[in-house]
């Protein structure tokens, strides 16, 4: 293996990442590529975990990496590296050019057309320095306060996996051979608590809560996070199995997002064009009840899924995915759009290596009118799911079978906690059986859904 | 210093960071000194240089090929129960010293004098490859994925989508610690995967298969060929076309040998990782010496199996891996430990300190976890079941280590009725309780098998390769999460 000589003792030379990205594209083109695209990512991370009042871990670091994708006509290859030395970058470009000689001609391969490229203008409010400028001691204090609030909440909370505070900033640059170059910075911070509650008999339960934001100013108070974590943990104490039965199921927002993610995977152009999706070929057809409206919007100011351009340099946009239960659009990148004879929806997600995949912007289910409480009040016997365990979803067939825990609903109220049960059905029917959608939509990430009720699923227990 | 006589081959691969980055033992002592400049009980440095290749054939075209390099150094300082960690992807001395001083912020005491001399770990060679697959000709790798594509399509005309991928990596590591730890290793890893979709009018199904290990490229040309994985993947997809709804509720479950060992990984393995038990957050805390399984069950974690995906010459803290008995004839014997937990709990370090990369803090992790073979004939096990399921392939699993509840999802399973394997059933989730599921094991087959080498385990956001295995097992009662609405006999459509 060839390798890089790094002369020890030299100070690190800071070079403009834009220039590096453009230079790599130029070098790839000079080496004979017909198209090239380079991504550079730089980030800082800080995390701390406080357990039982003591700092348990403290981590702080920064890193930088670069990737290039080259085309020889319609043959593509990609390489990446964390070595920014001249020799390291040379080798990265050279390997990509060599590698592209062994891949196949793919008639649909290529980077976007020049006319498709661009970036949203205006302030997207994605970056706040405060997540990183906060002194170390105060960051630790966030974690400590969250855990303390959970531990102090109830004497049955006797242990904890800790409270934590995390902050990160990321800087991304993308350049390609159409002359596109764009960059953006994003920041992120979160505070969480993971308490453990115990019954007098010694049975333990654990749950968690967190708050996440792009700026400290929008982060929930650690005390609130700790208290909610404690409440969620305590309500699991004394959990039992449920009887095997078919009953209405209410999805807590923490798990209702998973339903939305299944639809996302179903409308993901990659699974659509290969017929590996239970939603393939369903454009314009009803795939869910009239009450179901799903939007993907990468342009929301301050959103967790917002960016000025996607992984291929195409501006992000707002796409109506499902309207009144009718499938209106798939979510596509350049490749899958060409395969399907459509236009990209600006959902390309690019890692350092490989071909771009497809990722959500801010992807959400539009809320309904009633509160979660009202929704639960209408159920005589049912299951409120707070957590799923395992995967158990087959997106080719739509078969659905997952481990679950939550609360048993009796007479419109929570009766007792349940665990070690399964929930099963088929996604094709599930979306038609979303009988109610509550009004509590809140973004805690790029995918969000309110509390919802689904009928017709099978609960497996005793 | 414990000088070993190393063969030339091993010597070449070791010294990697000394030769390529001009590191000296003096440098290492200086970095450790900076890490302990504010006190602390222990400090270590983890150097990593990872190169990898991946290839994918899709629609019979090699659509993507990529290669990459990731290198860096992680510095850890441990003070009591506290850990400070920082890393750099720039291996210059200035950057490593900066990381060391950042990690040192965890401690607050006078500087410690650091080591004068390292003890080199005894050389071991569980995966001696002459030519690591990352350095092998790319054309041979292209041949592998193209052959897999062809074989899967040839299996049955109903196979209409095939994706075959090949990936390999070579991880060079150097771990040095202030206690004199000094270990180098060169860890190859390769894997093939074939995923198929079978389609008929109005019906489709998926099958997947794959395998590999810490092997060289010739493994895929001899022992386990692309055709082997392709046929297995295609077979599963075709079989699933006719699968019926799975039953729901508690019933007898027979697990086939090999990959269904993911049950052990989820149900007991994670719960026996020392960190959870030190913090008393595991449902297994305080159960050493107690019965946690039927007396037919003996479960081990073994990081020393040649060529296996979960094996390591040394763990990511530089400690040699070993075979650790977790459960012996049903009695819980001990935990899987790393340096931190062994020191804090006063137990021995089992060489299970692992991490995903230099960016991550090591913690106790499994290697290859399996149950030893028993006495029962697999045929007798099936024949003993009146109404239940026989699960032979699984997707993945998950566990909540605090309440012990675990799940795993069957991707190939059959009904057993009156001692006979009957219809294939659709994927169903199995759910149980870790501390008591093995007490319900009533029969253990004489056919122990390890998986093909596909397992990746996630914990705290860190992924590491692992192996699992079991002989055929009968569990008297486990909850199956199917959709069939009626009970015995009524599940048929």
The residue-averaged pLDDT of A17-41 equals: 97
CATH of the domain at B65: 3.30.2290.10
Q: Is residue B490 part of a domain?
A: no
**Please, how many CA atoms are within 13 Å of residue B194, restricted to the half-sphere of its CB?**
35
- Lay out the sheet containing B449-450: strands in order across: B331-332, B323-328, B299-302, B368-371, B467-470, B449-450
Q: Closest approach of chain B CAs to the CA of A404, in angstroms?
A: 9
Question: Any idea which of B116-120, B201-205, B291-295 has the lowest mean pLDDT?
Answer: B116-120
**Per-residue pLDDT tens digits for B234-256:** 999 999 999 999 998 999 999 99
Of B198, B216, B241, which residue sits at a domain end? B241
- B-facing residues of A in 284-343 (CB < 8 A) are none
Is the pLDDT at B53 greater than 60? The verdict is yes
Contacts of B118 (CB under 8 A, 6+ apart): B1, B25, B28, B176, B180, B181, B182
- Domain co-membership, B260 together with B397: yes
Q: Is residue B416 part of a domain?
A: yes
Q: How far apart are CA B336 and CA A54, in angstroms?
A: 24
Q: Is residue B3 part of a domain?
A: no
Q: In this complex, is the C-beta atom of B131 within 8 Å of any C-beta atom belonging to chain A?
A: no
Total structural domains within chain B: 2
**Per-residue pLDDT tens digits for B268-292:** 999 999 999 999 999 999 999 999 9
Chain B contact set for A423 (CB, 8 A)? 481
Confidence of residue A396 (pLDDT cuts 50, 70, 90): confident
B474 DSSP β-pair partners: B254, B443
- Domain co-membership, B221 together with B262: no
Q: Closest approach of chain B CAs to the CA of A273, in angstroms?
A: 11
Q: Which residue has the higher pLDDT, B396 or A288?
A: A288
Q: In this complex, is the C-beta atom of A441 within 8 Å of any C-beta atom belonging to chain B?
A: no
For residue A241, give the chain B residue with the closest CA.
B479
Beta carbon pairs, A and B, within 8 Å: 295
- Domain co-membership, B106 together with B17: yes
Q: Which residue has the higher pLDDT, A395 or A144?
A: A144
Selected for mutation to probe chain B from A51, A57, A68, A194 (highest B CB count within 10 Å) is: A57
ipTM: 0.90
**What are the tokens at A357?**
């995949």
Decide if A389 and B431 are in contact by the 8 Å CB cutoff.
Answer: yes
The residue-averaged pLDDT of A114-134 equals: 93
Q: Is residue B218 part of a domain?
A: yes
Residues of chain A with CATH 3.30.2290.10: 130-173+182-234
Position B493 scores a pLDDT of: 25
- Domain co-membership, B231 together with B252: no
Distances (CA, A) of A191 to A131, A206, A209, A218, B289: 11, 17, 9, 11, 39
State percent of chain A over pLDDT 90. 86
Q: Which residue has the higher pLDDT, B110 or A440?
A: A440
**Average pLDDT of chain A to the nearest whole number:** 93
Of B178, B209, B241, which residue sits at a domain end? B241
Nearest to A353 by CA among A137, A31, A95: A95
Position B121 scores a pLDDT of: 75
* CATH T-level fold of A130-173+182-234: PmbA/TldD fold (3.30.2290)
Position A393 scores a pLDDT of: 86
Nearest to A211 by CA among A300, A143, A158: A143
Burial class (CB in 10 A: 0-12, 13-18, 19+), A421: buried
Chain B contact set for A276 (CB, 8 A)? 161, 197, 204, 206
Do the beta carbons of residue B113 and residue B97 sit within 8 Å? no
- Domain co-membership, B155 together with B199: yes
Q: How far apart are CA B86 and CA B359, in angstroms?
A: 8
Q: Is residue B430 part of a domain?
A: yes
Position A378 scores a pLDDT of: 95
B198 DSSP β-pair partners: B159, B205
Q: In this complex, is the C-beta atom of A9 within 8 Å of any C-beta atom belonging to chain B?
A: yes
Q: How many CB atoms lie within 10 A of CB A378?
A: 15
Position A353 scores a pLDDT of: 84
Confidence of residue A6 (pLDDT cuts 50, 70, 90): very low
- A-facing residues of B in 360-419 (CB < 8 A) are 361, 395-400, 402-403, 405-409
Look at residue A374 and give its three-state secondary structure: helix
Confidence of residue B491 (pLDDT cuts 50, 70, 90): very low
Nearest to B285 by CA among B399, B435, B81: B435
Confidence of residue B14 (pLDDT cuts 50, 70, 90): low
Is the pLDDT at B11 greater than 80? The verdict is no
Q: How far apart are CA A67 and CA A24, in angstroms?
A: 9
**Per-residue pLDDT tens digits for A64-117:** 999 999 999 999 999 999 999 999 999 999 999 999 999 999 999 999 999 999
Nearest CB to A392; choose among B199, B250, B427: B427
Q: State the greatest distance between any 2 C-alpha atoms of chain B, in Å, as a whole number.
A: 75
Is the pLDDT at A276 greater than 60? The verdict is yes
Number of separate helices (H) and strands (E) present in chain A: 10, 22
**Per-residue pLDDT tens digits for B358-391:** 999 999 999 999 999 999 999 999 999 999 999 9
Phi-psi sector, B169: left (phi>0), alpha (psi -120 to 50), beta: beta
- Domain co-membership, B218 together with B301: no
Of B210, B241, B272, which residue sits at a domain end? B241
| Pairing between β-strand A362-365 and β-strand A357-358 as defined by DSSP bridges | unpaired
A37 DSSP β-pair partners: A69, A176
State percent of chain A over pLDDT 70. 97
Q: In this complex, is the C-beta atom of A239 within 8 Å of any C-beta atom belonging to chain B?
A: yes
State percent of chain B over pLDDT 70. 95
H-helix or E-strand spanning residue A70:
strand A54-72
**Average pLDDT of chain B to the nearest whole number:** 91
Q: Is residue B100 part of a domain?
A: yes
What DSSP state is assigned to residue A343?
-
- Domain co-membership, B283 together with B191: no
Give B280-343 as a DSSP string.
T-STTTT-TTSB-S-TT--EEEETT-TT-TT--SB-TTSPBP-EEEEEETTEE---B--HHHHH
Residue tagged 């819980």 (tokens): B332
Nearest CB to B199; choose among A81, A275, A460: A275
- A-facing residues of B in 77-106 (CB < 8 A) are 81-95, 99, 102, 105-106
Q: Is residue B179 part of a domain?
A: yes
Is the pLDDT at A314 greater than 60? The verdict is yes
Q: How many residues does chain B have?
A: 493
**Per-residue pLDDT tens digits for A416-457:** 999 999 999 999 899 999 999 999 999 999 999 999 999 999
- Domain co-membership, B352 together with B389: yes
Position B56 scores a pLDDT of: 95
Confidence of residue B116 (pLDDT cuts 50, 70, 90): low
Is the pLDDT at A170 greater than 80? The verdict is yes
Position B122 scores a pLDDT of: 74
* Residue-range definition of the domain harbouring residue B270: 248-481
Confidence of residue A137 (pLDDT cuts 50, 70, 90): confident
Decide if A65 and B432 are in contact by the 8 Å CB cutoff.
Answer: no
Confidence of residue A10 (pLDDT cuts 50, 70, 90): very low
Is the pLDDT at B9 greater than 80? The verdict is no
Do the beta carbons of residue A447 and residue A257 sit within 8 Å? yes
Question: Any idea which of A164-173, B345-354, B401-410 has the lowest mean pLDDT?
Answer: B401-410
The residue-averaged pLDDT of B482-487 equals: 62
Q: Is residue B295 part of a domain?
A: yes
Q: In this complex, is the C-beta atom of A445 within 8 Å of any C-beta atom belonging to chain B?
A: no
């Amino acid at each position: 293996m060839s390798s890089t000589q790094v002369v020890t003792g030299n100070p690190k030379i800071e070079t403009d990442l834009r220039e590096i990205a453009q230079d790599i594209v130029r070098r790839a083109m000079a080496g004979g590529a017909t198209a090239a695209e380079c991504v550079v990512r730089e980030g800082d991370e800080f995390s701390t975990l406080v357990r039982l009042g003591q700092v348990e871990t403290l981590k702080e670091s920064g890193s930088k990496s670069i990737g290039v994708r080259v085309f020889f006509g319609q043959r593509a290859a990609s390489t990446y590296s964390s070595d920014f030395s001249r020799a390291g970058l040379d080798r990265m470009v050279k390997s990509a050019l060599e590698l592209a000689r062994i891949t196949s001609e793919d008639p649909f391969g290529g980077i976007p057309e020049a006319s498709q490229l661009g970036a949203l203008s205006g302030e997207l409010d994605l970056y706040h320095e405060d997540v990183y400028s906060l002194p170390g001691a105060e960051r630790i204090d966030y974690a400590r306060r969250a855990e303390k609030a959970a531990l102090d909440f109830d004497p049955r909370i006797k242990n904890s996996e800790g409270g934590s505070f995390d902050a990160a900033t990321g800087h991304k640059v993308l350049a390609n051979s159409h002359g596109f170059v764009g960059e953006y910075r994003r920041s992120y911070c979160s505070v969480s608590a993971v308490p453990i509650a115990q019954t007098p008999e010694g049975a333990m339960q654990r749950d968690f809560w967190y708050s996440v934001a792009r700026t400290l100013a929008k982060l929930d108070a650690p005390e609130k996070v700790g208290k909610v974590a404690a409440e969620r943990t305590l309500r699991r104490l004394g959990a039992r199995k449920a009887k095997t039965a078919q009953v209405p199921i209410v999805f807590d927002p923490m798990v209702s997002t998973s339903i939305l993610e299944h639809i996302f995977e179903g409308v993901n152009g990659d699974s659509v064009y290969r017929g590996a999706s239970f939603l393939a070929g369903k454009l314009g057809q009803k795939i869910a009840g009239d009450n179901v409206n799903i939007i993907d919007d990468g342009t929301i100011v301050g959103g967790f899924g917002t960016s000025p351009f996607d992984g291929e340099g195409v501006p992000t946009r707002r796409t109506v995915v499902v309207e009144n239960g009718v499938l209106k659009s798939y979510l596509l990148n350049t490749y899958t759009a060409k395969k399907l004879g459509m236009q990209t929806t600006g959902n390309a997600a690019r890692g350092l290596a490989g071909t771009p995949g497809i990722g959500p912007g801010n992807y959400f289910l539009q809320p309904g009118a009633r509160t979660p409480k009202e929704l639960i009040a209408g159920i005589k016997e049912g299951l409120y799911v707070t957590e799923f365990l395992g995967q158990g979803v087959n997106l080719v067939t739509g078969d659905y079978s997952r481990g679950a825990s939550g609360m048993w609903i009796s007479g419109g109220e929570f009766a007792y906690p349940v665990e070690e049960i399964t929930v099963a059905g088929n996604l094709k029917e599930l979306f038609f059986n979303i009988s109610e959608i509550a009004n509590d939509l809140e973004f805690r990430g790029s995918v969000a859904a309110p509390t919802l009720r689904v009928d017709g699923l099978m609960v497996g227990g005793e | 210093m414990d000088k070993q006589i190393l063969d030339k081959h091993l010597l070449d691969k070791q010294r990697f960071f000394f030769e390529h980055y001009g590191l000296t033992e003096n440098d290492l002592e200086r970095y450790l000194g900076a890490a302990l400049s504010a006190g602390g009980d222990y400090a270590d440095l983890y150097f990593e240089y990872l190169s990898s290749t991946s290839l994918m054939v899709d629609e019979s075209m090699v659509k993507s090929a990529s290669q990459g390099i990731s290198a860096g150094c992680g510095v850890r300082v441990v003070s009591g129960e506290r850990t400070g960690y920082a890393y750099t992807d720039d291996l210059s001395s200035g950057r490593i010293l900066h990381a060391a001083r950042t990690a040192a912020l965890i401690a607050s005491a006078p500087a410690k004098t650091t080591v004068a001399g390292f003890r080199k770990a005894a050389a071991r060679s569980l995966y001696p490859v002459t030519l690591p697959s990352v350095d092998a000709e790319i054309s041979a790798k292209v041949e592998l994925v193209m052959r897999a594509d062809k074989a899967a399509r040839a299996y049955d005309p109903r196979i209409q989508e095939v994706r075959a991928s090949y990936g390999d990596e070579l991880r060079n590591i150097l771990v040095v610690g202030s206690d004199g730890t000094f270990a180098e290793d060169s860890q190859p890893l390769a894997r093939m995967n074939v995923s198929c979709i079978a389609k008929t009018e109005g019906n489709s199904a998926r099958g997947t298969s794959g395998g590999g290990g810490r092997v060289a490229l010739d493994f895929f040309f001899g022992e386990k060929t692309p055709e082997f994985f392709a046929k297995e993947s295609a077979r599963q997809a075709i079989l699933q076309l006719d699968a019926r709804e799975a039953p729901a509720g508690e019933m007898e479950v027979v697990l086939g040998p090999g990959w269904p060992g993911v049950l052990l990984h989820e149900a007991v393995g994670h719960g026996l990782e020392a960190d959870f038990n030190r913090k008393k957050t595991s449902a297994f805390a305080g159960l050493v010496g107690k019965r946690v399984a039927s007396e037919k069950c003996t479960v081990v974690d073994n990081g020393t199996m040649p060529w296996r995906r979960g094996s390591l010459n040394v763990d990511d803290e530089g400690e040699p891996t070993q075979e650790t008995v977790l459960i012996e004839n049903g009695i819980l014997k001990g935990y899987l430990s790393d340096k931190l937990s062994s020191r804090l709990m006063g137990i021995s370090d089992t060489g299970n300190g692992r991490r995903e990369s230099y960016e991550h803090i090591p913690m106790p992790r499994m290697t290859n976890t399996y149950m030893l073979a028993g006495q029962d004939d697999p045929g007798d096990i099936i024949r003993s079941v009146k109404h239940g399921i026989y699960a032979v392939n699984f997707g993945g699993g998950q566990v909540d280590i605090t309440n012990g509840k675990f799940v795993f999802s069957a991707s190939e399973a059959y009904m057993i009725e009156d001692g006979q394997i009957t219809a294939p059933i659709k994927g169903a989730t199995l759910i149980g309780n870790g501390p008591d599921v093995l007490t319900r094991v009533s029969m253990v087959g004489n056919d122990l098998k390890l998986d093909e080498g596909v397992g990746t385990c996630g914990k705290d956001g860190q992924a590491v390769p692992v192996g699992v295995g079991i002989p055929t097992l009968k569990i008297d009662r486990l909850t199956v999460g199917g959709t069939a609405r009626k009970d015995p006999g009524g599940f048929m459509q």
